[in-house]
Amino acid sequence: MMVRSVMRSLATVWLTAVILASGLASAAPPTNDTARRVVHLLDYIGVDYGATVENGAVVDEVEYREQLEFAGRVDEALTELGVPIDAPLRIDLQALREAIELRRSADEVARRSRGLAKAARERFDLHALPPRLPSPQRAKELYAQACASCHGPEGRGDGALAGTMNPPPADLSDRKRMLALSLFDLYSTISRGIDGTAMQGFAERLSEAELYDLAFLVGTIPFDPREIEEGRELLQLRPARVAELAPNLAALVERSPAEVVQDPQDLSILAFVRSQPDALAKGSLPIEVARQRLAESRQAWEQGQTRRALDLAVSAYLDGFEAVEPIMNSTAPELRQDLERRFFDHRRLLQQGAAMAAVQAAYDELDRGLEAADTHLRGGIGFAALFASALTIVTREGFEAVLIVAAIVALLTRAGRRDALRYVHAGWTGALVAGGATWLAVHSLIRVSGAQRELVEGASALLATGVLFYASFWLLSKAEAARWQEFLDRHIRAALSTGSVVTLSVVTFVAVYREALETALFFEALWAQAGAGAARPIALGVAAGTAVLVLLVAAVLYLGHRLPIPAFFAASSILLYALALVLAGQGIAAFQEAGWLPVTWVSFPRIDWLGVRPTVQGLAVQGALLALGLGALLWLVIKRLAHPQGKERLQ
């Protein structure tokens, strides 16, 4: 009964953490959705106003009234978002509405609407970055499925259903109109649709990554294939030019060609980069996310927004740099460790309210380190590095989970309860499914930040720590053969009927779930970093890592069958206790990465595979757990020495 009580209490803690993280994730979308509607409407005004007014006269009354209506909707949305009437956004919006009412030039209206859209993105923290590098191949599949029937196979608005629509579908090959649109504009339109037309939004049907896939494809339709090929050749001759046109992926997404193009050759280069975005951001997307978040964090700090600056600094690490850690571990481990420490030191300065000069110096050091990592990754990831990264991910993430599951299987087998193994297998297979489902949900259904993900992982690790510590103590107390037999007769035989087998599923589920989710996220990042040609080395690395884990399971089961009962129980107790120490360190580190616990560095060896990090907080928890274990062992020894007759009877 005590085992079930402890397990249920710990499970409740973990589930509470998951629910809290989910609640945090679901609290943000309504505001973000309204803010995105603001940007979408402003972009639409900036592009379409020119077709409604010419030389101060309205040439399309219906479209002109729509422009006024959209400006009014923006005003309503800003009210809904709580933007004061005297805020710069509202003042600039009023100026835009007056420009439309006075039928000012298309250039002026476009300039004002673009400026407002940019200000709104900054005000509401709308990041114009795809979650991964857009996939041209996936975009073609999506276009054929969702767009071709209306817009036509070449985007000319002549699809099979076009004749049934009023107004007709847009001509995506209309060069003048399309060059005025940024990729973010296209993403917004594809996501939300256009009111009063047959163009419905796809946000409910496609993931954010797929929406960006389509946006990049649609953004290349106005360009001739020969123009795109010319851009590829020009980029080889003038590689520095693309950095001036689009210094990073965010700039490529947010700026329209009309804003940045200086000559036809520039247009060709942008056309090629839109068609093959990996030419711009191959291997550097997570680093770019980290640098962008850090820049926004510094800006927020300068404006006195401490909480926002901290949140962005946490996001820079968890939503950016953490994704490349497996690769950096294989190719530049010292740089990876140095950057991790710099991230924590930068956040500590923000939390302490340090002087601006100190914060600026820490930011500059961190940015230089990220630039070095970016340069390193842009050099390409070779076969050996990809293989080693995949092998490391599989073995590191699977090590603790496999040991826990194997130890439980060995215990049940040794106890003669093979019929209970199905509950263990249900636990770990269910965790794999849940981990995959969570990964899909993160990309398609909800928006979970890196901090929220770390909270779930940290709670899972600490739950597993409690379970394993209790289990190790329990096993040690039954280490004598007669005690084990007595326990079997009195408790295990009735385990299935009392429902405690659910505990087995909970233990294996918790052990495997966090590793499954993290493994999926790491492999997604590895694949995005590597690009084409990565399948073979990654597959070989996965196969090698899986083989290592299989050998580990075989070794545990082999020893479990052959060790004498006392030695088997003692070994199992030591193994589970060691895993509890490892997971305790990992759980504290996860909460530190999420910004929920402070980080105080000390001079101490770092041993990642043992969960040992040189921080006061992590070492204190592991030290306390170690002391508790030694205390429990001493208590058992004293108890047995105090009852020698019982020991003799049980021998």
How many whole angstroms separate alpha carbon 383 and alpha carbon 31?
44
The yes-or-no verdict on residue 155 having pLDDT over 60 is: yes
Between 92 and 481, name the one with better pLDDT.
Answer: 92
Residue 218 has what pLDDT? Answer: 93
Confidence of residue 473 (pLDDT cuts 50, 70, 90): low
Residue 17 has what pLDDT? Answer: 42
The yes-or-no verdict on residue 355 having pLDDT over 90 is: no
Residue 649 has what pLDDT? Answer: 39
- Which CATH number does 136-281 carry? 1.10.760.10
Q: Which of 143-152, 277-286, 298-307, 485-494 is the least confident region?
A: 485-494
Instruction: Give SS3 for 69.
Output: helix
Structure tokens at 317: 């690490």
Give tens-digit pLDDT for 182-206. 888 898 889 888 877 888 888 888 8
Render 431-484 in DSSP notation, one character per residue: HHHHHHHHHHHHHHT----HHHHHHHHHHHHHHHHHHHHHHHHHHHHT-SHHHH
pTM over 0.85: no
Structure tokens at 465: 């720590």
Q: Which of 12-21, 104-113, 256-265, 396-405 is the least confident region?
A: 12-21
Confidence of residue 563 (pLDDT cuts 50, 70, 90): low
Rounded to 10°, the helix 383-414/450-477 angle is 40
Half-sphere exposure of 104 (CA within 13 A, CB side): 16
Residue 29 has what pLDDT? Answer: 42
Tell me the mean pLDDT in the region 299-323.
83
Residue 95 has what pLDDT? Answer: 92
Between 629 and 444, name the one with better pLDDT.
Answer: 629
Query: Residue 548: which of 430, 365, 393, 419 has the closest Cα?
Result: 393
Structure tokens at 262: 């200086």
Within 10 Å of residue 89's Cβ, how many Cβ atoms?
Answer: 19
Geometric angle at alpha carbon 158, from 153 and 164, rounded to 5°: 125
Asked if residues 552 and 406 have their Cβ atoms less than 8 Å apart, the reply is: yes
